[in-house]
Amino acid sequence: MPVSTPAITFTRDRPTWFVYLMLATFSTYLYGLSSALPTLRAELGVTQAVAGLHGTGMAVGSIATGLSLPWLTRRHGRRAAVWIGIGGMNAGMLLVGLGPTLPFTLAGYTIAGGFAAIALYVSMAALSDHHGPAGPASISEANAVGVLAGIPATYAFSLLAESVLGWRAAMFIPVVLTAVLTFAMGRIWFPEIPAEHATRRTRQPFGWRFHFAGAVLLCCVAVEFTFNLFAAELFSQRTGLTLAEAATGLTAMLCGIAAGRFGGAALTLRYPVWQVFLGTMAVTLAGWAVFWSTTAVAVGYIGLAISGVGIGMLFPLGLTRMIETSGGRPDQASGIASVWAGVGSGTGPFVLGALGDAFGTHAAFLLAPALLGLAAGGLLSSRSTF
């Protein structure tokens, strides 16, 4: 049975709200590119495996920038690193929106994914430091607020894709939101950690539980990205909806993700993180089963929403686990987490795309429960430090 722990509270100050709103901007990039992939594949006339290379490009960018995160934050500070990330993310979105051929779109996905990872992981490390014991709840809630922006972003993509403006117009949404964020809260940030403190914390090697946590995060991110990049296509194939109409299925999933992250944030204030984490994996598996087994539109929406409730907490809790097992080195842990997550976000969609070309998208989606099983095994084998 779940074991309750003493309740923890935290204060949502202005720096915290800056990160929340920055993640809202981040989400319009992430879910905008996710919604665009099926339409982009059809426009370019490429296979599922080639389309999956866009996810691989995002992963490569995330890995490359993740390796540089500890140096970047020590050299320039967290605040400058976040704004560098946001700027590069928007440059990648402009390249996707304006690029007419595959090399342009691949480059755009890669650049956007790499720089967006900087903004994401640096801000998560800052939240963890700033809120202490309430770090897991603040990370979950920040991601929940971010997803709320992804819901209208996927809906806006569907509307623009069927309008005279076309789907590429949706790629400019993060650029506009970044301008608004800069004007409203551009001067706000957390106090920086002293450089000598950061240097001192990097000397101790990581333990095996930290690396297990990284493998669990890889599996969790792979699950999320396979849903993000291929759920709409499977929804279309199983129900007969057009790709633009099926993209609204991501809206249902995002509603579930938002609900899961808000609810999960409350649960982490009362229960051990590993129990909440395992529960979210079970909910994700249940939602996958409903979505995968149906050909009815309404049931498909329900399955995606249930999947979203579970998926919503996979990344926040996976990242929290890595930070908790890092020995007090959140920036370095976040950088390494970006590498693990990058491998997951790249290999998951690519493998599913390759399996989809060989066996069909429906059969290929069996990859999701396999990944969830591996993640659960890794979590249970190292849960003693939760």
Tell me if 318 sits within 8 A of 216, measured CB to CB: yes
- Which range of 10-24, 230-244, 279-293 scores highest in mean pLDDT? It is 279-293
Region of poorest pLDDT, from 14-28, 32-46, 113-127, 192-206: 192-206
- Distance, in Å, from the CA atom of 336 to the CA atom of 385, rounded to the nearest integer, reads 19
pLDDT tens digits, 66-113 = 888 878 888 888 889 999 999 999 999 999 988 888 899 999 999 999
Alpha carbon distances (Å) from 191 to 25, 83, 123, 136, 188: 22, 15, 12, 19, 10
Question: Based on the number of CB atoms within 10 Å of its own CB, is 300 exposed (0-12), middle (13-18) or buried (19 or more)?
Answer: buried
Tokens of 231: 């759920």
The 8-class DSSP code of residue 189 comes to -
User: What is the pLDDT at residue 328?
Assistant: 73
What's the whole-model pTM score? 0.77
% of the chain beyond a pLDDT of 70 = 92
Give 48's contacts (C-beta < 8 A, 6+ positions apart).
41, 230, 233, 353, 354, 356, 357, 361
Burial 8-41 (b: 16+ CB within 10 A, else e): eebeeeebbebbbbbbbbbbbbbbbbbbbbbbbb
In this structure, CATH architecture of domain 14-385: Up-down Bundle (1.20)
Supply the DSSP string of 300-363, one letter for each residue.
HHHHHHHHHHHHHHHHHHHHHHHHHTSSS-HHHHHHHHHHHHHHHHHHHHHHHHHHHHHH-HHH
User: Residue 384: pLDDT band by 50, 70, 90 thresholds?
Assistant: low
User: What is the pLDDT at residue 195?
Assistant: 52
pLDDT tens digits, 138-155 = 888 888 888 888 778 777
- Distance, in Å, from the CA atom of 44 to the CA atom of 54, rounded to the nearest integer, reads 12
- Distance, in Å, from the CA atom of 38 to the CA atom of 275, rounded to the nearest integer, reads 36
Total residue count of the chain as it appears in this document? 386
Alpha carbon distances (Å) from 245 to 35, 148, 160, 250: 11, 20, 12, 10
Tokens of 345: 């976000």
pLDDT tens digits, 52-62 = 788 788 888 88
User: Residue 125: pLDDT band by 50, 70, 90 thresholds?
Assistant: confident
- Higher pLDDT among residues 56 and 119, named by residue: 119
User: What is the pLDDT at residue 386?
Assistant: 41
Tell me if 44 sits within 8 A of 102, measured CB to CB: yes
What residues does each domain of the chain span?
14-385
pLDDT tens digits, 11-24 = 788 888 998 999 99
User: What is the pLDDT at residue 6?
Assistant: 55
Tell me what the mean pLDDT of segment 334-344 comes to.
85
Instruction: Indicate the average pLDDT of the chain.
Output: 84
pLDDT tens digits, 179-197 = 999 998 888 877 666 454 4
User: What is the pLDDT at residue 87?
Assistant: 94
- Distance, in Å, from the CA atom of 249 to the CA atom of 258, rounded to the nearest integer, reads 14
For tokens 């301008």, the residue is 179
